[in-house]
Amino acid sequence: MQVTPELLSAFPSLKPLPAATLARLAQESLVRKFARRGVVLTAGVREEFVCFLFEGRLQGVDFTIDGREVGLYFVEPGDFCGELGMFDHGPQPEFVIALTAVVTVFVPMESLRQVTFEHPMLLKLLGERLAARVRQLTRQRSLLGLPNISQRVCCQLWMLVPEDARQNLNASVINNPPTHMEIAIMLNLSRETVSRVFQILQTRQIVRRDGTSLLHVSDTPTLKRLAEGSEEL
Amino acid sequence: MQVTPELLSAFPSLKPLPAATLARLAQESLVRKFARRGVVLTAGVREEFVCFLFEGRLQGVDFTIDGREVGLYFVEPGDFCGELGMFDHGPQPEFVIALTAVVTVFVPMESLRQVTFEHPMLLKLLGERLAARVRQLTRQRSLLGLPNISQRVCCQLWMLVPEDARQNLNASVINNPPTHMEIAIMLNLSRETVSRVFQILQTRQIVRRDGTSLLHVSDTPTLKRLAEGSEEL
DNA sequence: CTGGCTAAGTGACCACAATCACATAATAGC
DNA sequence: GCTATTATGTGATTGTGGTCACTTAGCCAG
The tens digit of pLDDT for each residue in A129-164 reads 999 999 999 999 999 999 999 999 999 999 999 999
Shared domain check, B184 and B137: no
CATH number at residue A18: 2.60.120.10
Shared domain check, B98 and B154: no
| CA-to-C1' span, B144 to C21 (A) | 27
Residues of chain B in contact with residue A66, where contact means CB-CB under 8 angstroms, are 146-148, 151, 229
Nearest CB neighbour to A133, from listed B64, B123, B134: B134
Query: Domain end: A107, A124, A144, which one?
Result: A144
Query: How high is the pLDDT of residue B24?
Result: 93
CB distance A137–B141 less than 8 Å? yes
The nearest alpha carbon in chain B to A185 belongs to: B145
Report if CB B199 to strand C is under 7 Å: yes
Query: How high is the pLDDT of residue B211?
Result: 85
Confidence of residue A76 (pLDDT cuts 50, 70, 90): very high
CB distance A72–B141 less than 8 Å? yes
The nearest alpha carbon in chain A to B88 belongs to: A128
HEC string of chain B? CCCCHHHHCCCCCCCCCCHHHHHHHHHHCEEEEECCCCEEECCCCCCCEEEEEEECCEEEEEECCCCCEEEEEEECCCCEECCHHHHHCCCCCCEEEECCCEEEEEEEHHHHHHHHHHCHHHHHHHHHHHHHHHHHHHHHHHHHHCCCHHHHHHHHHHHHCCHHHHHHCCCEEEECCCCHHHHHHHCCCCHHHHHHHHHHHHHCCCEEEECCCEEEECCHHHHHHHHHCCCCC
Shared domain check, A34 and A22: yes
Q: Cβ within 7 Å of strand D: which of A 200-229?
A: 202, 209, 212
Report if CB A149 to strand C is under 7 Å: yes
Shared domain check, A154 and A137: no
The nearest alpha carbon in chain A to B83 belongs to: A131
Distance from CA of B61 to the nearest CA of A (A): 9
Number of domains comprising chain B:
2
- pLDDT, tens digit (0-9, with 9 covering 90-100), for A155-177: 999 999 999 999 999 999 999 99
Average confidence (pLDDT) over A66-78: 93
A64 inside 8 A of chain B by CB: yes
- The DSSP line for chain A is ----HHHHTTSTTTTTS-HHHHHHHHHH-EEEEE-TT-EEE-TTS---EEEEEEES-EEEEEE-TTS-EEEEEEE-TT-EE--HHHHH-----SEEEESS-EEEEEEEHHHHHHHHHH-HHHHHHHHHHHHHHHHHHHHHHHHHH-S-HHHHHHHHHHHHS-HHHHHH---EEEESPPPHHHHHHHTT--HHHHHHHHHHHHHTTSEEEETTTEEEE--HHHHHHHHHTSS--
Query: How high is the pLDDT of residue A169?
Result: 95
Shared domain check, A165 and A62: no
β-strands B95-98, A39-41 pairing: unpaired
> Residue A222: which domain range?
146-228
B181 inside 8 A of chain A by CB: no
Shared domain check, A115 and A197: no
Is A33 part of any domain?
yes
Per-run averaged pLDDT (10 residues), chain B, 233 residues: 87 92 93 92 93 94 92 95 94 95 94 92 92 95 95 96 94 94 96 96 93 91 93 84
Shared domain check, A184 and A119: no
Query: How high is the pLDDT of residue B225?
Result: 94
Is A233 part of any domain?
no
Shared domain check, A124 and A184: no
Is A166 part of any domain?
yes
Report if CB A9 to strand D is under 7 Å: no
CATH number at residue A183: 1.10.10.10
pLDDT surpasses 90 at A3: no
Query: How high is the pLDDT of residue B20?
Result: 92
D chain positions with any atom within 7 Å of a protein CB: 7-12, 16-21, 26-28
Query: How high is the pLDDT of residue B172?
Result: 94
Query: How high is the pLDDT of residue B213?
Result: 87
What ipTM describes this predicted complex? 0.92
| Ramachandran quadrant class, A37 (left: phi over 0; alpha: psi -120 to 50; beta: rest) | left
Query: How high is the pLDDT of residue B177?
Result: 94
The nearest alpha carbon in chain A to B184 belongs to: A145
Shared domain check, B98 and B139: yes
- Percentage, residues of chain A above pLDDT 90: 89
Report if CB B90 to strand D is under 7 Å: no
CB distance A90–B64 less than 8 Å? no
Shared domain check, B97 and B190: no
Shared domain check, B168 and B133: no
Query: Domain end: A123, A144, A165, which one?
Result: A144
Shared domain check, A53 and A11: yes
pLDDT surpasses 80 at A23: yes
Query: Domain end: B103, B118, B144, which one?
Result: B144
Is B153 part of any domain?
yes
- pLDDT, tens digit (0-9, with 9 covering 90-100), for A182-229: 999 999 999 999 999 999 999 999 999 998 889 999 999 999 999 999
